[in-house]
Amino acid sequence: MSMQTLDVQNLIIGFGKAGKTLAADLARHGQSVILAEASPHMYGGTCINVGCIPSKKLLTEGARRAPCVAADAMDAEAVFHAAMQAKDALIPKLRAANFAKLDQMAGVRVITARARFQDEHTVILEGEGQSCAVRAERIFINTGTLPVAPDIPGVNHPHIHDSTGALSLAQRPQRLLIVGGGYIGLEFAFMYRAFGSEVTVLEAGATFLPREDRDIAGEMQRILQSRGIRLVTDAAVERFEPGDGQASAVTAVTSQGRFSADAVLLAVGRRPNTGGLALERAGIAVNERGFIQVDEQLRAKPHIWAMGDVAGSPQFTYISLDDWRIVRDQLLGDGQRCTSDRAPFPTAVFTEPPLAHIGLTETAARRSGRAITLHTLAAEAIPQAKVLGQTDGLLKAVTDAGTGEILGVTLLCAQAHELINLFKMAIDHRIPARAIKNQIFTHPTMAEALNDLFANA
């Protein structure tokens, strides 16, 4: 029996931010689109299902409910389950809305099936009880990334989880062990600590947060300690062993000793989600880490694009959205937009307080040989931080000593994830530090602290 062949102008593989936005955009311009997604649990992509939205929902619920946990440890389990229920009530609604938006749109057909290339213009889609071949004029790969599973003996223990699993634990761990002291690991550390878990973070490297300046990393380490989160550096995990079944479920044997816990989170990075795509049949090249090789306009071949994490783009939803802008500009615009246009861009880690950054750190600026001026401000000096009861942290900026040009900003303070966006515009439009120094901000706000941050500009 021959396989059905579907002809379409555009085939999008993966329901992530770039893919779903492109599908709607092309359909609105009268083009035909098939969007293939392997899992019905991933409509909308990583962000809304197993990434940004569920993690931030739990972080918010944890912060909101933490006083209850602190007041009565007996309530910790109930608080944890209530937070999980709030998260579980939100995510299916978002997933369904994402699916309906495209499925009901004229010109778009959503097919739930795994994709593999047959040749550079043909992709086989295989779903439950059905399969078809899709011949497309243009193909867009938007399959994202998956958590890395390190090759460590005993890693398949049922109480060892990746980030996806840690977002849906059935029981609150009394003791949580996090392997990986990077940004994902830190978000989970603050989250579970707010739920009353004892949290230990194991960092394999000797340097905590190596990409940050030492004063920023030091302040974060102080905050971790003040929250009762234990950080152990130089702790390479050698193997996992079963716990004693009563006091613990699993034990990590490391270069710094043995650490037992009810649950372990592996937060050691992410890998490209390309398994089963048979990219080689389409002549699509990957780099040494397995990410699809693309040019500055995200082309892997003249008619094939990769977007988002799978293309090696920085792993943020808003960068995936910008990938859509780049591709859209080639298809529907003047074709000038490219990946180099967006540097620098802001980042935010949702610790407590958040850590946000854009541009050069002090270390990178000094390494460049430029003459610089440093601007720092302790968060405890900000009136609004005192109003909020969130006085931990440090604000820091680097400017050109001659021109006052803002080279980089790091904010470890309340509402840093919002404030940092101001500096994307300031850097893009070359607004000097003295303009921020003399800007009129409302009071009391965290933003008005920027007057004081740049007081010596």
Question: What's 207's domain CATH number?
Answer: 3.50.50.60
Position 257, amino acid: G
Would residue 159 show up in a list of annotated catalytic residues for this protein? no
Q: What is the DSSP string of 371-427?
A: -EEEEEEEGGG-HHHHHHT----EEEEEEETTT--EEEEEEESTTHHHHHHHHHHHH
Same domain, 334 and 363: no
pTM score, two decimals?
Answer: 0.95
Angle between helices 17-28 and 317-332 (to 10 degrees): 30
Which residues lie closer than 8 Å to 224 by C-beta, 6 or more apart? 186, 189, 201, 230, 231
Same domain, 430 and 395: yes
Q: Among residues 159, 375, 429, 443, which one is catalytic?
A: 443
Residue 436 above 70 pLDDT? yes
Please state, rounded to an integer, the average pLDDT across all residues of the chain: 95
- The Cα–Cα gap between 176 and 199 comes to 5
Residue 71 above 90 pLDDT? no
pLDDT for the residue 258: 96
Peptide bond into 344 cis (omega under 30): yes
Q: Is 153 among the domain residues?
A: no
Same domain, 288 and 385: no
Q: What share of the chain is helix, strand, coil (3-state, %, to 5)?
A: 35, 25, 40
Same domain, 362 and 317: no
- The Cα–Cα gap between 259 and 211 comes to 27
Percent of the chain with pLDDT over 90: 92
Confidence of residue 351 (pLDDT cuts 50, 70, 90): very high
Determine contact, residues 362/369, Cβ cutoff 8 Å: no
What is the pLDDT averaged over residues 185-214? Answer: 96
Q: Is 319 among the domain residues?
A: yes
Question: What's 396's domain CATH number?
Answer: 3.30.390.30
Same domain, 276 and 373: no
Same domain, 178 and 258: yes
Same domain, 138 and 65: yes
Determine contact, residues 398/408, Cβ cutoff 8 Å: yes
pLDDT digits (tens, 9 = 90+) for 14-62: 999 999 999 999 999 999 999 999 999 999 999 999 999 999 999 998 8
Q: Which residues pair with 418 in a beta bridge?
A: none
Domain total for the chain?
3
Same domain, 365 and 334: no
Give the residue from 444, 428, 359, 353 showing the smallest Cα distance to 397.
359
pLDDT digits (tens, 9 = 90+) for 130-164: 899 999 999 999 999 999 999 999 999 999 999 99
Determine contact, residues 310/272, Cβ cutoff 8 Å: yes
